[in-house]
Amino acid sequence: MNALAQDVRFALRTLWKTPAFTAIALLALALGIGANSAIFTVVNSVLLRPLPFPDSKQICEIHTARFPGLTVMDDRTFVEFEKSSSSFEHVTAIQPLQSNLTGIGEPIPVRAATVTPGFWPVLKTSPALGRTFGAGDNPEGVMVISDQLWRSHFNADRSILGKVVNLDAKPRIIIGVMPAGFAFPAATDSWTPLRVDPQPGQGWFYTVIGRLKAGISVGQARAETKTIAQRLDAKNKHAADDAGVISLQESLLGQIRLSLYVLLGAVGFILLIACANVANLLLARGASRRQEVAVRASLGASRMRLVRQLHTESTLLSLCGGVLGLLLCLWAVPVLIRLTPDGMIPRLAEVRIDSQILAFTFGLSVATSLLFGAAPAIQLSKARLADFLRQGDRRYSGAQGLRNVLVVGEIALSLVLLIGAGLMIKSFALLRSVNPGFNSESALTMTVNLPFNPEAKTEQLVQYHEQVLDKFATLPGVTSVGAIDWLPFDRYLARGDFYTEAVSRPAAHFDVSKPGVTPDYFRAIGIRLLRGRLFNEFDSPNSSGAAIVSESVARQAWGDDDPIGKRLTLEDHPKPSDWLTVVGVVDDVKQRNLAEKTPVPAVYQPITQVTRVNFLLHMAYVVRANGNTSALARLIRARFHEIDPNQPIQSLSAMDDLISATTAEPRFYSRMLGSFSAIALLLASLGIYGVMAYAVVQRTREIGIRVALGAQRADIFRSVMVKSALLVLAGVGIGLAGAFGVTRVLQNLLFDVKPTDAATFAAVSVLLILVALIATYVPARRATSVDPMVALRYE
């Protein structure tokens, strides 16, 4: 212990006496360790920590149907499954909603979920206040709220229980408040009872989760689910194909696992580069400490004791770097959370720095000290005493080979990171340049979810929306207004089949979106009319049904024939009045995101001819204006509330922002990888600068002799640059080989770019070579100014 205390004291003193070295080493280590701790904080909370429910491994997601991006179960199957499954203790159906909460002052939109009573025993989480609802509760009358909603809109009032509020215009009694942090499904603020009651001619789909019985595995539950699905649809041989059971944690994590591990890998590279840098610094410093080490050995220090003393310095450096890294992590994690697009990373609200992160940082610091400290310590302790104890023999050029290897390694690692970032940036740029099919500039969009009223008629709803549009049309600067129930790039999309008149069975059977629109919608959003006409005032509820189709529908259904005048229907069993006549053809548009390989084809109807009330409850108004739209948003909000002060606005944003939101994820990755690779490039440049600067110092005598023998400054400059270029080219070569293998993991994150895109590889390699050669320039210039008279007296 005493010897250790001695070593620590000496180490502190040695580091204090060399402030420049210590500062640079600490900075490099803090960046490397801090970045790793920050990303690991997210990985730990999101991927590694179990879900915040008791025995969460027993909770599974169960499905019997698949849609793009969704796995669900229909209502009929759920009812049967709940009765007949023997694998699950409890199962529950969940339907997330966007609802409106009124009766508390200003009306607000809330994320809500209707859930069957089994929801609470599946998640085994008791409320913090009051109770949850069960099978005996009136499904229309009660609700449970989140802790977040209770604090933000009810001032954490402990007498909240029994308070009546309106949710989607229906009065509900608040009977319970869930504990802080409980928000399942993600970000849900209120839960109301769901009664699953299948009706003929209707079908609802739900997310279904269940808690496995003790001793039942996921595999057994999956097999049972497939059996039940096949039994319920015995005529369909493939009924069980889409049935499955996976752990809830797995179903929530989906794609994000790969992305987070990519980020963790990237910061791991930074740490390796930082370690190589610090190791190089230690090796360079070691040269001046050779004599000290030799003297210590001559005083009786064993090799183990020398290595331990040197390693104590590395460990101290690393631990201090770890402390600074932890401070960096404390700053970086909230910034990272703020920069993460909404909904991209599940469980983000659970991310926190806790004792596990402290332990990780400490462990990483210790491991880092081994990584960068071991080689220099062993190298230095191999002192050939006689060589260093004799008077005047200060020449030492050992470990140059090791330093060169480290620098080549840094260059290689930096190149891999840079190429990854380059691919993401190119992918993002290509994505952003995709034409969505409409003009998003200077267009604002406002969305509402009107409450369901069983007595409401479609005409009333249409009149409501037309009134809103008329009000918006008179705002200053507005050039056109329109409305659509399923706005492109919004969360919602209704899709289904359509049939043409050509044959009695569906010949043109393919998935289309079926939005209802006002006549000026196409003008407002900037979708081109290709043929025929747009909807007008003559397309009324009493006139024959009209449809406008997108170009891909026209091509699919009628090939080269003119689609104008052709007939189609959106109903499976159409009455005569369900047949629609095509009056126009418009451009296809992207519906969900810019990365859609093929646009979702669309069959548009005038909203005056939409027959289902619930299709007119969710509406998006599109307002196109001249010039700047930022001031217009305030006016739109105010004008809307003149018409309906109690209706919350679901969202109000520029169309450009809606599109941006769908590219938020690739933008995030580009920024993250771009930032990491910039740090790596800086560290690698410092690394090569350090190696070349040291090499020039070591070669001072040799350079002096060369100059004295007639070498020109240009010769000296060239020799230094060539030496550096060889190291850089070696690093680039190894980095390219590594990148070919590593960048394949980015495959699923890239848009329209191959992971081995030659142009990116070439451009990034050239950039790195240039930066590295710039880093060599200063030492090379310094080498040309060596005075032979001074150099030859160097000893």
Partner 1 sequence: MSSPILTLRNVEKYFEHGPTKTFVLRRINVEIKEGEFVSIMGPSGAGKSTMLHLLGMHDSSWTGEYYLVEHAIHKLNKKDRMELYKKYFGFVFQSYHLLDSLTVYENLDIPLSYRNIKKSERDSIVCDVLDRFQIVGKKDLYPNQLSGGQQQLVAIARAIVATPKIILADEPTGNLHSSQGKEIMELFKKLNDGGTTIVQVTHNEKNAEYGNRIININDGWITDTSS
Q: Does 235 bind partner 1 (CB under 8 A)?
A: no
Q: Does 238 bind partner 1 (CB under 8 A)?
A: no
Q: Which stretch binds partner 1 (CB under 8 A): 5-13, 169-177, 512-520, 753-761?
A: 5-13
Q: Does 3 bind partner 1 (CB under 8 A)?
A: yes
Report in angstroms how near the CB of residue 5 gets to partner 1 at its nearest. 9
In the complex with partner 1, the residue whose CB is nearer, 213 or 308, is 308
Give which of 131, 119, 116, 206 is closest to 175, Cα–Cα: 131
**Cα 264 from Cα 133, distance rounded (Å):** 42
In the list 226, 296, 426, 465, the residue contacting partner 1 (rule: CB under 8 A) is: 296
Q: Which stretch binds partner 1 (CB under 8 A): 149-157, 301-309, 407-415, 499-507?
A: 301-309
In the complex with partner 1, the residue whose CB is nearer, 17 or 505, is 17
Is residue 482 within 8 A of residue 521, CB to CB? The reply is yes
Report in angstroms how near the CB of residue 12 gets to partner 1 at its nearest. 10
In the list 105, 215, 300, 454, the residue contacting partner 1 (rule: CB under 8 A) is: 300
Q: Does 218 bind partner 1 (CB under 8 A)?
A: no
Give the count of residues interacting with partner 1 (CB under 8 A): 22
Question: DSSP of 236-287, one letter per residue?
Answer: -TTTTTT-EEEEHHHHHHTTHHHHHHHHHHHHHHHHHHHHHHHHHHHHHHHH
C-alpha pair distances (Å), 455 with each of 99, 168, 392, 459, 610: 19, 14, 103, 12, 16
Q: Does 6 bind partner 1 (CB under 8 A)?
A: yes
Positions in 26-85 near partner 1 (CB under 8 A): none
Report in angstroms how near the CB of residue 385 gets to partner 1 at its nearest. 4
Give counts: helices (H), strands (E), the chain.
Answer: 23, 25
Q: Which stretch binds partner 1 (CB under 8 A): 66-74, 291-299, 367-375, 645-653?
A: 291-299
Residue 537 CB: number of other CB atoms within 10 A? Answer: 9
Q: Does 305 bind partner 1 (CB under 8 A)?
A: yes
In the complex with partner 1, the residue whose CB is nearer, 296 or 465, is 296
Positions in 374-393 near partner 1 (CB under 8 A): 385-386, 389-391
**Cα 277 from Cα 684, distance rounded (Å):** 7
Is residue 402 within 8 A of residue 379, CB to CB? The reply is yes
Report in angstroms how near the CB of residue 295 gets to partner 1 at its nearest. 4
In the complex with partner 1, the residue whose CB is nearer, 300 or 401, is 300
In the list 20, 299, 503, 709, the residue contacting partner 1 (rule: CB under 8 A) is: 299
Q: Does 288 bind partner 1 (CB under 8 A)?
A: no
* Length of the chain in terms of residues written: 795
Q: Does 302 bind partner 1 (CB under 8 A)?
A: yes
x/- track of binding to partner 1 for residues 245-284 (CB under 8 A): ----------------------------------------
In the complex with partner 1, the residue whose CB is nearer, 297 or 783, is 297
One-letter amino acid for residue 571 of the chain = E
Q: Does 14 bind partner 1 (CB under 8 A)?
A: yes
Report in angstroms how near the CB of residue 314 gets to partner 1 at its nearest. 16
Give which of 600, 781, 620 is closest to 689, Cα–Cα: 781
In the complex with partner 1, the residue whose CB is nearer, 10 or 452, is 10
Report CA torsion sign: 312, 314, 315, 320. positive
Give which of 696, 682, 681, 711 is closest to 781, Cα–Cα: 696
Q: Does 13 bind partner 1 (CB under 8 A)?
A: yes
In the complex with partner 1, the residue whose CB is nearer, 214 or 299, is 299
Q: Which stretch binds partner 1 (CB under 8 A): 294-302, 604-612, 615-623, 771-779?
A: 294-302
C-alpha pair distances (Å), 64 with each of 44, 224, 240, 254, 499: 31, 12, 7, 18, 26
Is residue 95 within 8 A of residue 206, CB to CB? The reply is yes
Q: Which stretch binds partner 1 (CB under 8 A): 8-16, 208-216, 232-240, 350-358?
A: 8-16
* CB-facing half-sphere around the CA of 480: CA atoms within 13 A: 15
Q: Which residues lie closer than 8 Å to 546 by C-beta, 6 or more apart? A: 535, 539, 580, 581, 583, 605, 606, 609
Tokens of 775: 């880093």
Q: What are phi and psi of 439, to 5 degrees?
A: -100, 110
C-alpha pair distances (Å), 159 with each of 182, 481, 792: 20, 46, 89
- Look up residue 184 and give its DSSP letter: T
In the list 27, 65, 264, 295, the residue contacting partner 1 (rule: CB under 8 A) is: 295
Our CA angle for 282, 728, 718, nearest 5°, is 100
Report in angstroms how near the CB of residue 11 gets to partner 1 at its nearest. 10
Q: Does 396 bind partner 1 (CB under 8 A)?
A: no
Chain residues binding partner 1 by CB under 8 A are 2-3, 6, 10, 13-14, 17, 291-292, 295-296, 298-302, 305, 385-386, 389-391
